[in-house]
Amino acid sequence: GEGSGAQAAHEKFLLIAAAYETLKDEETRKDYDYMLDHPEEYYRHYYHYYSRRLAPKVDVTIVILVTVCAISVFQFFSWWSSYNEAINYLASVPKYRIQATEIARQQGLLNKTKEKGKNRRSKEEIREEEEEIIKDIIKNKIDIKGGYQKPKIYDILLFQILLAPFYWCKYIVWYCWWIYCFTIKGQEYGVEEKLYIIRRYMKMSQSQFDSLEDHQKETFLERQLWIRENYEVYKREQEEELKKKMAMDPRWKRYRRWMKNEGPGRLTFTDD
């Protein structure tokens, strides 16, 4: 009947499709001819056929490149978003706001927002424009260090990978220079070299160290913290000071009281 005819046609179609799949390129034709000549190796050819058929069609290099690019784009826009949030915050900090306002006055930028006549605007519009001027000055005129720095495209993953050989060569050259100058020739450290050693002792990144106030760095230099023994003394002092602050902190006192009386290791049973 019609059902058996349709079934036969379907099976024939599958057979033709399988034959086409097997003989469509030179590699699979060679495998098929070899299997006909060596039927005892049927299972090995069966494995090779499906491993080739199920292998990914896209080059792994392209997948990795696309993934790295996607991560890099996300990084860049995420950093820009964080940077703009930081600028909004700094515009509310008196130290930076006063500096920016003074620079704006010196350049006559704030006077332009208060024009009269046809160009006169509402107080709200003037306030918004002055706010934008202050933010622009904080971005471009005031030296902002550390975590508030403007994001750089060279910091994203893609460029870090591409520039890795350059960075390694640069580090090797710098390290050889350091050994030659200070180990072999015995030169005295300059200010930058002293601060570098102090930063390494403190286990801080460059951006973290840059975010410190200048007077803090001056204190480090006055106490000669690039000398290991001096740094160990300073470190113990800081630890003792931290312990004293924590001992005086009401929240820390409550926490210690809770740990002593109701700590996580104790089970209490109360009647409702």
Q: State the Cα–Cα distance between residues 192 and 217, nearest whole angstrom.
A: 11
Domains, the chain = 13-54 (1.10.287.110), 62-112+123-151 (no CATH), 188-261 (no CATH)
pLDDT at 36: 63
**pLDDT at position 272:** 46
CA count, 13 A, side-chain hemisphere, 190 = 3
Dump pLDDT digits (tens) for 32-57. Answer: 666 666 665 555 666 666 566 555 55
Burial class (CB in 10 A: 0-12, 13-18, 19+), 169: exposed
CB burial readout 229-260, b (16+ within 10 A) else e:
eebeebeeeeeeeeeeeeeeeeeeeeeeeeee
Q: What is the pLDDT of residues 109-162, one digit of tens each?
A: 776 555 555 556 677 877 888 888 888 888 887 666 655 667 788 888 899 999
Using pLDDT thresholds of 50, 70 and 90, give the confidence band for residue 267: very low
Compute the distance between CA of residue 49 and CA of residue 42 in angstroms, rounded to an integer.
11
- Give residue 46's pLDDT: 61
pLDDT tens by residue, 203-247: 988 877 887 888 899 999 999 999 999 999 999 999 998 888 887
The per-residue pLDDT for range 67-110, each reduced to its tens digit, is 999 999 999 988 888 888 888 888 888 888 888 888 888 887 77
Query: Whole-model pTM?
Result: 0.53
Rounded to the nearest 5°, which phi and psi values hold at 113? -80, -10
Residue 153 vs residue 264, higher pLDDT: 153
Helix, strand, coil in percent for the chain, rounding step 5: 80, 0, 20
